[in-house]
Every structure is written in C-alpha cells, then in structure tokens.
C-alpha cells in the first residue's frame, strides 16, 4: 500500500492517573474524575467535521494514543469507532491500535476493547525492574506488566511490547537481562525507546539541577548496539529507529506517519496532515482538554491552528520522517516535492562513509547512519 492509498485517524485521550516524570505528551491528571461520555461525544463531533473535509478516503488505520487511552471506558472507544465507520469507508483489514498501561484495572477492559473493534494493543511495560518502574512514575510492577501483556496477547490478534532504555544508572548487563526477558514474551513487535530528557518535564528539572544522571553518549550507544543485536537475533529486525518487528507485524499506522501519508487527528492537542491540492494543511487542536471540548461544542471542532504546507516544506517533512525507517525515502518523490534532487556529491560522500545506501530510487540510512541520523538528515537537507 502506498502512502497515497492510506488514510489514518489518530484519537487522543489526554487523561492519566499520574504524570510520568519523563513525559512531555499532552497528558493531564483529573483527580475529581473525567466525564468520559462528554469527551467521547466531542470526539465524535470533531470526527464529523473532519469527514466533511476528507471525502472519498478509506480509513486504513486508527490509533488511540494519549495520555492513557486504556482509561477510556470500552463504550467510549466503541462510540468513536462506530462514528468513524459511519463517516468513512473502512479498509477490510483496518488496523485499530490502542495504547494500554498494564495495571490490573485497565487490563480488565481488554475484552471490552476487543469487542468494540480494537485489534492491536501497544502495552507500555517500560521496564522490567521494579525500582526503575517506580522512578519512571509507573503504577505497576514488572510482574503485573507481564501478566497484563500475556492477557492482551490472548485477546488481541496483534500486540506490541514497549520499553524504555538508557535509563539513569542502567548498565548493559541490566538491559541485556531485561530485554532478553522481554524477547521471551513478545509476540512479533517491540517499541524500544531511548530515554530522552525533554524540556518541561520533571526529569528535565532534575537533570538541570544535577540530580538526575543519564548514561553518557558512549554508554547510550552501547545500549543501542545491544538492542539491535538482541532483536536481530530474535527475528525482530529494526524497521524504524526505535521499532522492531517480524516481517508483516510492523505498525501500519506509524508507517503511515513515517511514509508521510495523510491523517486526521482528533482530540486535545492532536495534529493532522490533510491533502489540499499540491499543498497540505497542518492542523493542530487546542491542548487543554476542557477548553477543547468547549470549542467543539460551540464550533464543531477544536482546531486552533491551520497552516498551509507547500511542497518544498513537505519535502523537508518527508525527509525527516522517511529516513527514520529502514526502507528510507523515494528520491523521485522527494525531488518532485523539493523541486530539486539531493546533491550527488553529498550522496557520494555519505555513501563512502557508510552512512547511506541506495536500492533503486530508495535512499536509506545504514545501521551506522541511523546512529548519526540527525546529522545525516541535516546534510541531505542542506
């Protein structure tokens, strides 16, 4: 399936039980509780607004992200999916993913999500070390995480085992033990992210004050190499810089992003990229949940930013996203958007350094190039 054939829908559920210290996503804690019905209704209203602007599309993937979507009542998930099915054509093999936290309370909802139509769950295990789980602000133990993952694997056709590494004080020996244990449980897909310290997070404040010590660049590189080694041996090669899968088990929704496809994002803070002739429109929704809901009630949507992305800027976005994946970018598509080809001398130089390779029109980073991906992309774009 090409990017032009794919159309995805992202649904943002912004609420969490607690804010993790490393998280910079648009997530909010509501100790007084959440009126899930009113937010589900608002999601349906905003979906209707988007449907009027995307006629003729066939939905190939849906992704519930957050926040913590596994705090959504199954009936709210069902309402959203029923609304989507009533507004667009649906691909017969549509992928419907929901991110889940592995607490026992949320795991009890798994059967309800499956009945609503969810066919893929991404389980945020994050660590298999209870001390580190506590430091990460997680509210589950490693044993609870394994139990929840095993339950998800029984209920859903596809599941992802998600973890964070390069954590404070983490050694290669510790990560080898954790990842080996996780590989024994995985069911074909793993998202393995290096911890990054993002501005505006509790971890950033600690880091700035010298109270949080993260691995050195060399240690982080060792952990990355170890990750590639173990996943490759287990038959889960890298298909994106932080994602590994058996062939055919890749996340189709995330591939849509990386291939620079078209998608509508609903919910507080959600982003969209919609075709508009040769241009694209970049839309962003209001981030504050209750303010977004009020906007939807009054104007039918919560969009607060709508800008035109001309082809030359699309080329930059396509390069930035596409070089993250093993298949790379189509150089003909890039040239058509950018109005120019990538400088042949730069390509030759980076190829001689073993950072990129070609396969027909496809240009991709090598294993060594992925370690220096930001520099590779900057050089290609200049």
The string of DSSP codes covering 290-320 is HHHHHHHHHHS--EEEEEEE-HHHHHHHHHH
Do 7-257 and 311-382 agree at the fold level?
A: no
Round to whole Å and give the CA distance between 22 and 140.
Answer: 16
- Residue 376 clears pLDDT 70, i.e. is over it: yes
Contacts of range 225-233, beta carbons closer than 8 Å, 24 or more positions apart: 226/172, 226/175, 226/176, 226/179, 227/165, 227/175, 227/179, 227/192, 228/367, 230/176, 230/179, 230/180, 230/183, 231/179, 231/183, 231/190, 231/192
Query: Which range among 22-36, 40-54, 203-217 has the greatest average pLDDT?
Result: 40-54
Give which of 114, 100, 116 is closest to 149, Cα–Cα. Answer: 100
Tell how many helices (H) and how many strands (E) occur in the chain: 16, 17
User: CB atoms < 10 A from the CB of 353, how many?
Assistant: 13
What are the beta bridge partners of residue 126? 163
> Which range among 49-58, 190-199, 200-209, 233-242 shows the weakest confidence by mean pLDDT?
200-209
pLDDT at residue 39 tops 50: yes
The pLDDT of residue 105 is above 80: no
Q: What residues contact residue 375 under an 8 Å CB cut-off, 6+ apart?
A: none
Q: 177-219, pLDDT tens digit by residue? A: 999 999 999 999 999 999 988 999 888 888 888 888 888 989 9
Quote the mean pLDDT of the chain: 94
pLDDT of residue 267: 98
pLDDT of residue 208: 87
Q: How confident is the model at residue 28 (pLDDT cuts 50, 70, 90)?
A: confident
* The pLDDT of residue 4: 59
**Integer Cα distance of 13 and 20 in angstroms:** 16
- Is-contact 58 9, C-beta < 8 A? no
Tokens (6 digits) for 107: 């795991």
Task: Give me the pLDDT at residue 1, please.
Answer: 42
Residue 10 confidence (pLDDT) above 90? yes
Residue whose structure tokens are 């009542």: 73
pLDDT at 2 over 80: no
Residue 32 in this model has a pLDDT that exceeds 90: no
Class of domain 311-382: mainly alpha
Position 20 scores a pLDDT of 82
Q: Are 137 and 101 in contact (CB under 8 A)?
A: no
Hey, how many other C-beta atoms are within 10 angstroms of the C-beta on 358?
12
Would you say domain 7-257 falls under CATH 3.40.47.10? Answer: no
> Residue 312: its pLDDT value, please?
96
Report, as an integer, the average pLDDT of 233-239: 97
**In 10 A of CB 115, how many CB atoms?**
12
Q: Where are the domains of the chain?
A: 7-257, 311-382
């Amino acid at each position: 399936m090409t990017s032009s054939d794919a159309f995805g829908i992202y649904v943002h559920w912004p609420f969490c039980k607690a804010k993790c210290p490393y998280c910079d996503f648009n997530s909010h804690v509501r100790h007084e509780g959440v009126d899930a019905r009113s937010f589900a209704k608002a999601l349906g209203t905003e979906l209707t607004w988007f449907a009027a602007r995307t006629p003729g599309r066939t939905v190939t993937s849906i992704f519930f992200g957050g926040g913590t979507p596994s705090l959504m009542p199954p009936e709210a998930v069902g309402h959203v999916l029923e609304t989507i099915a009533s507004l667009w054509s649906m691909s017969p093999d549509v992928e419907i993913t929901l991110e889940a936290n592995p607490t026992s309370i949320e795991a009890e909802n798994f059967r309800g999500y499956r009945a609503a139509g969810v066919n893929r769950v991404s389980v945020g295990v994050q660590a298999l070390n209870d001390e580190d789980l506590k430091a990460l602000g997680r509210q589950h133990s490693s044993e609870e995480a394994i139990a929840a993952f095993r339950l998800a694997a029984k209920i859903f056709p596809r599941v992802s085992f998600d973890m964070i590494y390069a954590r404070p004080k983490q050694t290669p020996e510790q990560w080898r033990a954790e990842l080996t244990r996780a590989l024994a449980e995985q069911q074909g897909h793993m998202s393995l992210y290096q911890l990054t310290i993002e501005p505006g997070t509790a971890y950033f404040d600690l880091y700035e004050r010298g109270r949080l010590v993260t691995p050195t660049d060399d240690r982080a590189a060792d952990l990355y190499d170890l990750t590639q080694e173990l996943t490759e041996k287990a038959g889960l090669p890298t298909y994106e810089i932080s994602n590994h899968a058996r062939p055919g088990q890749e996340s189709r929704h995330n591939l849509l992003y990386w291939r620079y496809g078209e998608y509508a994002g609903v919910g507080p803070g959600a982003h969209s990229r919609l075709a508009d002739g040769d241009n694209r429109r970049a839309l962003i929704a209001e981030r504050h949940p209750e303010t977004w809901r009020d906007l939807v009630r009054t104007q039918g949507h919560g969009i607060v930013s709508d800008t035109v992305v001309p082809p030359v800027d699309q080329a930059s976005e396509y390069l930035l996203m596409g070089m993250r994946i093993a298949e790379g970018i189509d150089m003909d598509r890039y040239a058509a958007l950018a109005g120019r080809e990538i400088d042949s001398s730069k390509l030759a130089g980076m190829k001689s350094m073993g950072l990129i390779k070609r396969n027909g029109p496809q240009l991709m980073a090598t294993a060594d190039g992925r370690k220096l991906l930001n520099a590779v992309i900057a050089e290609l774009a200049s």
